[in-house]
Structure 1
Amino acid sequence: MASKTKKLGLVSLALCIGLSLNINVNAATPHKKSNFFRYNGGISKTDILLRKKLRFHDVKSVEKPAPQDPAMVELGQSLFFDKELSGRRNIDCETCHSPFLGSADGQSQSRAQGAIGLGPSRRQNGDERFDFLPRNALSLWNRGVPGWDVMFWDGRLSGNAQEGFISPAGDDTPQNFTNALGAFSAFPITPDEEMRGFPGQLDVFGQPNELGDLTDEDFVEIWDLITARIVNNEGYDELLDAAFPGVEQKDLDIADLSNAMGAFMTEAFTALDSPFDRYLAGDNSAMSDSAKRGALLFYGRANCAACHSGGLQTDFEFHNIAAPQVGTGRGDAAPLDLGRGAITGNPSENFQFRTPSLRNIELEGPYMHNGAFDELEDAIRHHLDPFTSLATYDASQIEFELAGIFQNDPQTLETILSTLDPELVVYGRPLNDNEIKDLMSFMSALTDPASLNLFEIIPTSVASGLPLAD
């Protein structure tokens, strides 16, 4: 059972190598070393092989987001941590995207309305109505990077400011979002079990929750009510005026508030100074030998880069990797979760989920769309041999209330495996334990050390005056 504990050389030779790797060596002479030499101090056989692999897979340094407007960031920070955005004023964005928990919540599937506490210790609050959210909370790392245009495990929200946005709100989807991350901020507000609350419930002040009697499909009404809460709160006047100079507050809408939260999340959760980033920038000493061997496997025999491609280790596409079907399931197919297939209506896309980025991956377990694997190594081993992993899966590693909800009857397993992505294959012999350790080392090299302590992004208070803690 997976545990539950969280947490070079001659100049002529060098010139040839540099040229073969498309590195600028024009200044490499015995009297004046190039930036390559000055920065690297040498190159090993492993580095030669790895840089060829990276070049073959077109893995380049990631373009960082443009600097964010400080006034928008400040407003977005307050909104992100403000329970005023939930129907009962009892949940904020940080509940499921905590800076202390890898910008996620450390749970297989999230506990939202009807629960109290933070992260894995969050539990049902007395006898309040409580439903698990159907999926694992996705992290927020690098979501503001240009080109990140797909959100949620099933991709039901996508788009950009140039081409427009598509969402579950259909024709009511605002088109004035800055990017998909901004758009993302508007949607956790709407489901009853997430932030909106259930009918008949009171807020923390004992007042009626005006959002409770609406439905999950009443997007415009919900957004208008939440926007009204913020613009009518005197505590937000200064922040709103600074973020939207010359705009009357009455003309603001949910997209404006969401764009501010997107600006904050971009500022707070962009994590592009990992050892791998420094290696991509030319520093051969940035990664350990084990991490380099792991990268060679990742971009070679283990075939991870077939889906986890590019500088962020994601193709932003959807794949069926035969993740165990555990937990509540989602929609009409519950207790199954059909993933992308439920959005497109195409059975061939059943059980497909968006490839997650692997940046800071070791910080954000549990893993898979439903948090089926508590440990990253187990998730990696599943990718390397999904047939064995699915057949021998131990559901006791997920949230204890969900452990008994595992769809492992032969017909379901056969159905899942029948559309298994063909890219999920290891070339040659299976990886041994030492090679898996090397893969794990490469996963660690994807962690930005600055992400280990984000205490400074947490405000001391929020503009509404509501408490930060439960």
Structure 2
Amino acid sequence: MKSALHTIAFLCLSAPAFASGVPDALAAEDFFPFDAKQAEIGQLLFYDKILSGNRNISCGTCHHHDHHGTDGLSLGIGEGGQGVGPKRTAGQGTDRIRKRIPRNAPALWNLGHRDIGVLFHDGRLEVSDLYGNGFNSPAQEWLPQGLDHILAAQALLPMVAQFEMAGNPRENEIAGAIHDRIDAAWPILAKRVRTIPEYGAMFVSAFDHIQRPDQVSIVEVANALAAFIGREWQSYDAPFDAWLAGDMNALSPAQERGRELFFGKANCASCHSGPLFSDQAFHALGLPAFGPGRTRQWDPMPRDVGRVGESNRVEDTYRFRTPSLRNVALTAPYGHNGAYPTLETMVRHVLNPNSARTAWTPDLAHLPEAPWLEPIDFVIHQDHLEMARQAAALDIRPVALSDAEVADLVAFLHALTGSSAAGPRPLGRPDRVPSGLPVD
């Protein structure tokens, strides 16, 4: 289907969408029907460093197939780093990173589902008519018209983020353009793409309204990326899906006990509800704090205040979006800042945040070595007043479980891993990209 998907079809989820309880099964019709030919372009663009300011990082660098759409790090290493996944380094010399990415790279699983109306850990991108372009985003009224899906809007933002893909001022034309206005860089990136003959021909073939390569704009680039992400990371063939379909033997005894705890005594489903195991809402879990934080203009402290940074509602302070638990066993580390390296440690935190925070140690964070950044890596963790504020802002109450019950809960979370999720995806990582740049 080549015609645009109308963003009006989405609902902005400002409150939990599902009641607690066993969810409905996932099915192919629950996802938007992204165009296959556009997805083929998106696959190449996803791994093509042509979309970064210095041509040295791609979307796939931090959301790699080898790591199930994530990077395996607590906080990402963006523009200037070297390598992929948990072995990625912070770079060296004048090219080394100037700042860690403040948050954990989110997983991409099932983001093409029809219920997805808000993205990013703080929800700073959501379906909305506030600016007349279909979305409430950091680009505000400068986000272009014609984006088919929230995934298309999301794809545009890392390209113009200094420490993710754009690069530093005076390094390249992209970094310079975004310091004039956020939308000034997108036409430059679109021209980079459409002037490559292979890309130009693919866009003409895949988009009905494109007759010549010079008609390709950043909108088509973003829609192609959305088509790839939306098709590539669909997953609904987990043992739990078989159980929902009526196979009462699909779960092991431990997983069945964990299922009963999840939807019962442990109260997990109060937030992790619905077929995606997320209420799409925001909750304060009091995770251990570290890293540069996502500072605001009038709040330069190296802390992350979460949803309030977008909503400006005091009650949203330290709240973060509930992640989907589909394929969660494949996407460690966990939390908005990757504070916990294993499912067990993350589960224990949610069961008793204050106890877990007290026991947490900095060595649990997977941060590639960067001696020039070490003075600020844990400075906020040592701020007792700030830690007290975060500890006081909790939306969950402790639940007492035995070690055996925790093990059963973890077993159930493994039952949410798709049978095909760890194997090859429909398109996968390309061996080459039309720009000729190296593929991570």
- Return the alpha-carbon distance in structure 1 between the equivalents of residues 242 and 199 of structure 2: 40
Q: Does 1:341 align with 2:291?
A: no
In structure 2, the partner of 1:461 is 432
Q: Which one of 319, 323, 341 corresponds to residue 374 of structure 1?
A: 341
1:182 is matched by which residue type in structure 2?
Answer: A
Instruction: Give, in whole Å, the separation in 1 of the partners of 2:89 and 2:72.
Output: 13
Deviation at residue 129 of structure 1 after TM alignment: 3.9
Of 269, 276, 282, the match for 1:305: 269
Are 1:151 and 2:108 an aligned pair?
no
Structure 2 CA distance for partners of 1:419 and 1:126, relative to 1, 3 Å: closer
Q: Secondary structure at the match of 1:436?
A: helix
Q: How big is the shift at 1:255?
A: 2.2
Normalising by structure 2, we get a TM-score of 0.87
Q: Give the structure 2 partner of residue 167 of structure 1.
A: 137
Q: Secondary structure at the match of 1:158?
A: strand
Distance in 1 (alpha carbons) for counterparts of 2:20 and 2:360? 35
**Kept after mapping to 2: 8 A contact 1:321/1:424:** no
Q: Which runs of 5 or more structure 2 residues have no equivalent in the other structure?
A: 1-17
Does the 8 A contact of 1:235 with 1:465 survive in 2? no
Q: Determine the structure 2 residue equivalent to 1:31.
A: none
In the TM superposition, residue 414 of structure 1 has moved relative to its aligned partner by 2.0
Q: C-alpha displacement at 1:229, in angstroms?
A: 0.8
TM-aligned CA deviation for residue 55 of structure 1? 9.6
1:111 equivalent in alignment to 2:85 = no
Question: Aligned ranges for residues 316-465 of structure 1 at < 5 Å?
Answer: 316-332=280-296, 333=299, 334-398=301-365, 399=367, 401=370, 404-421=378-395, 423-426=396-399, 430-454=400-424, 457-465=428-436
Tell me, yes or no, if structure 1 residue 126 matches structure 2 residue 126: no
Per-residue Cα deviation, 1:184-219 (whole angstroms, up to 9, x for no partner) = 111110111110111233xxxxxxx21122336722
| Stretch of structure 1 that moved more, 58-67 or 122-131 | 58-67
In the TM superposition, residue 224 of structure 1 has moved relative to its aligned partner by 1.0
**Is 1:101 aligned to residue 67 of structure 2?**
yes
Whole-angstrom CA distance in 2 between matches of 1:140 and 1:89: 23
Ranges of 4+ aligned residues in structure 1 off by more than 6 Å: 160-163
Q: Which secondary structure does the structure 1 equivalent of 2:70 belong to?
A: coil
Higher-Rg structure is: 1
User: 1: CA distance between counterparts of 2:75 and 2:393?
Assistant: 25
TM-score between the two structures when normalised by the length of structure 1:
0.82
Counterpart in the other structure of 1:265: 229
Query: Against the structure 1 CA distance between its residues 216 and 273, is the aligned structure 2 distance closer, same or farther, given a 3 Å change threshold?
Result: farther
Q: Post-superposition shift, 1:250? A: 3.0
Deviation at 1:309, TM superposition (A): 0.8
The letter of the residue matching 1:413 is M
Alignment partners' CA distance in 2, 1:56 and 1:467 = 47
- Please say if residues 196 and 212 of structure 1, whose CA atoms lie closer than 8 Å, have aligned partners that are also in contact: yes
Contact 1:76 1:260 in 2 (8 A): yes
Could you tell me which residue of structure 2 aligns to residue 26 of structure 1? none
Q: Name the CA shift for 1:124/1:413 in 2 (closer, same or farther; >3 Å).
A: closer
What's 1:27 paired with?
A: none
CA displacement, residues 369-425 of structure 1 (integer Å, 9 cap, x when unaligned) = 11111111101000000011112211111115556445244322221122210x444
Tell me which moved more, 250-259 or 269-278: 250-259
State which drifts further: 324-333 or 159-168.
159-168
Structure 2 equivalent of residue 225 of structure 1: 188
2:243 is aligned with what amino acid? Y
Tell me the distance in 1 between the aligned counterparts of 2:168 and 2:66. 28
Residues 47-86 of structure 1 mapped to structure 2, 5 A cutoff: 57=21, 59-64=23-28, 65-86=31-52
Q: Which whole-Å CA distance do the structure 2 matches of 1:411 and 1:200 have between them?
A: 38
Q: 1:135 aligns with which of 100, 103, 119?
A: 103
Q: Give the whole-Å Cα distance in 2 for the aligned partners of 1:258 and 1:210.
A: 20
Instruction: Give the structure 2 partner of residue 187 of structure 1.
Output: 157
Q: Cα offset for 1:458?
A: 1.2
SS of structure 2 residue aligned to 1:212? helix
- Which amino acid counterpart does residue 73 of structure 1 have in structure 2? A
1:2-41 to 2 correspondences below 5 Å: none
CA distance in 1: counterparts of 2:248 and 2:106, whole angstroms: 32
Equivalent residue, structure 2, for 1:239: 202
Which of 280, 287, 295 in structure 1 is aligned with 2:244? 280
Please state how far the C-alpha of 1:244 moved relative to its aligned partner: 1.1
1:113·1:195 contact (CA, 8 Å) conserved in 2? yes
Unmatched runs of 5 consecutive residues or more in structure 1: 1-53, 202-208
Give the conservation status (yes or no) of the 8 Å contact 2:20–2:270.
no
CA distance in 1, matches of 2:258, 2:268: 11
Find the residue that maps to 1:451 and give its secondary structure. coil
